[in-house]
């Protein structure tokens, strides 16, 4: 924990105490209250990297039997998910029959569905084109078409299963409970047999309306885990009620009620291993400082202006600059101001907190 602040908060309406904790110092990336500044900073950084081209949203989803393996092997299996999805996009895009170019994209790991159950999948936001092999020209995708999803799905399946078998051979996987028999090599291969024949789910949504819409959409999910506070309806009598969308019924809004311990159990399903990076960059975004400049040059785009970081003095000023909202104004009346009257320093030095998103 960082410094503890004592506030003069007489002007803050107590009924809005749960609306946000502007001085929360937990900074855990799974906390729904502590990621606003990190999200705003990430959004500002990505805005400077946008190109004047269409962007596509591609989602890679793991089959149920593979998701069960991932539940007990989060680090290794999620790493394989990132690698297989990225390599699939890279290989198909580099093929002259499809695009013949180096893509630039970032991928965000999600492990939950609307009801907070385990549902690992990867969201990729991909520029609609890329650099030619020699870097001399920009190669654009066909209008409203990215890459054939059936080809993507089959290569993704092959690459993922090959990497998973290598992880098994290297003894990087563990098995518990009903999956314990899979420690045997033959049992493991039998378990994977249905997945080798099944059609894996990869889909590409239509291109976003514009670069800004890309960020508006994706930023809702980059620094949030499982559920946001605004979906919570109530907590009473040992139960938690929250809103969810039933996509099988046209996205209809419904309310679910769970026992508090079950709600906590479901939330904890999505806590990632320490240091695991859940946002990763590939292609010309992996070497963005050099290759992005070349992309802008080929697209006749101006280079972004450098920001004056010295103008931002602390996290509250930075938050106001990035979001336009104030962390010191009363969330109820917008007139009262929170005033710091004392800062209590920690007894022991704090370990630095790194954002491993």
Scored b (16 or more CB within 10 A) or e, 169-182 reads eeeebebeeebeeb
Mean pLDDT across the stretch 266-272? 90
- Look up tokens 């630095």; give the residue: 352
Scored b (16 or more CB within 10 A) or e, 214-241 reads bbebbbeebbbbbbeeebeeeeeeeebe
Give pTM, 2 decimals: 0.79
Residue 43's φ and ψ, nearest 5 degrees, are -60, -40
Mean pLDDT across the stretch 290-307? 84
Which of the four pLDDT bands, split at 50, 70 and 90, describes residue 11? very low
Helix axis angle for 149-169 and 185-197, nearest 10°, is: 180
Q: For the chain, count helices (H), then strands (E).
A: 9, 12
Q: Does position 21 have pLDDT exceeding 70, yes or no?
A: no
What's the rounded Cα separation, in Å, for the pair 177 and 193? Answer: 20
Mean pLDDT across the stretch 98-105? 93
pLDDT at 102: 94
Selection from 139, 92, 134, 85 nearest residue 109 by Cα: 85
What's the rounded Cα separation, in Å, for the pair 94 and 133? Answer: 8
pLDDT per residue over 229-238, tens digit each?
888 999 999 9
Q: Does position 244 have pLDDT exceeding 50, yes or no?
A: yes
Burial grade of 245 (CB within 10 A; 0-12, 13-18, 19 or more):
middle
What's the rounded Cα separation, in Å, for the pair 1 and 34? Answer: 12
């Amino acid at each position: 924990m960082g410094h503890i602040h004592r506030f003069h908060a007489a002007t803050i309406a107590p009924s809005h105490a749960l609306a946000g904790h502007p001085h929360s110092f937990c900074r855990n990336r799974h906390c729904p209250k502590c990621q606003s500044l990190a999200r705003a900073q990430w959004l500002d950084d990505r805005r400077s990297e946008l190109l004047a081209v269409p962007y596509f949203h591609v989602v890679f989803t793991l089959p149920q039997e593979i998701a069960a393996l991932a539940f007990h092997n989060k680090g290794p299996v999620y790493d394989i998910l990132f690698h297989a999805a990225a390599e699939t996009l890279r290989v198909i895009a580099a093929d002259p029959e499809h695009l013949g170019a180096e893509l630039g994209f970032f991928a965000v790991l999600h492990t939950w569905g609307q009801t907070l159950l385990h549902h690992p999948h990867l969201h990729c936001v991909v520029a609609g084109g890329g650099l030619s092999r020699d870097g001399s020209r920009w190669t654009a995708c066909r209008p409203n078409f990215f890459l054939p999803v059936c080809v993507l799905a089959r290569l993704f399946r092959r690459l993922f299963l090959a990497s998973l078998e290598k992880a098994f051979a290297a003894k990087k996987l563990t098995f518990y409970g009903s999956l314990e028999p899979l420690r045997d090599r033959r049992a493991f291969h039998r378990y994977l047999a249905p997945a080798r024949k099944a059609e894996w789910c990869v889909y590409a949504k239509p291109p976003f309306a514009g670069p800004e819409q890309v960020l508006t959409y994706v930023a809702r999910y980059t620094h949030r885990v499982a559920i946001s506070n605004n979906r919570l309806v109530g907590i009473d009598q040992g139960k938690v009620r929250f809103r969810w969308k039933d996509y099988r019924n046209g996205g209809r809004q419904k309310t679910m009620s769970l026992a508090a311990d079950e709600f906590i159990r479901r939330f904890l399903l999505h806590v990632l291993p320490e240091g695991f990076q859940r946002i990763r960059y590939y292609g010309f975004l992996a070497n963005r400082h050099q290759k992005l400049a070349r992309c802008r040059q080929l697209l006749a785009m101006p280079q972004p202006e450098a920001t004056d970081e010295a103008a931002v003095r602390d996290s509250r000023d930075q938050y106001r600059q990035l979001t336009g909202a104030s962390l010191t104004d009363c969330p109820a009346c917008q007139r009262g101001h929170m005033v710091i009257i004392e800062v209590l320093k920690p007894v022991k030095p704090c370990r630095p907190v790194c954002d491993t998103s």
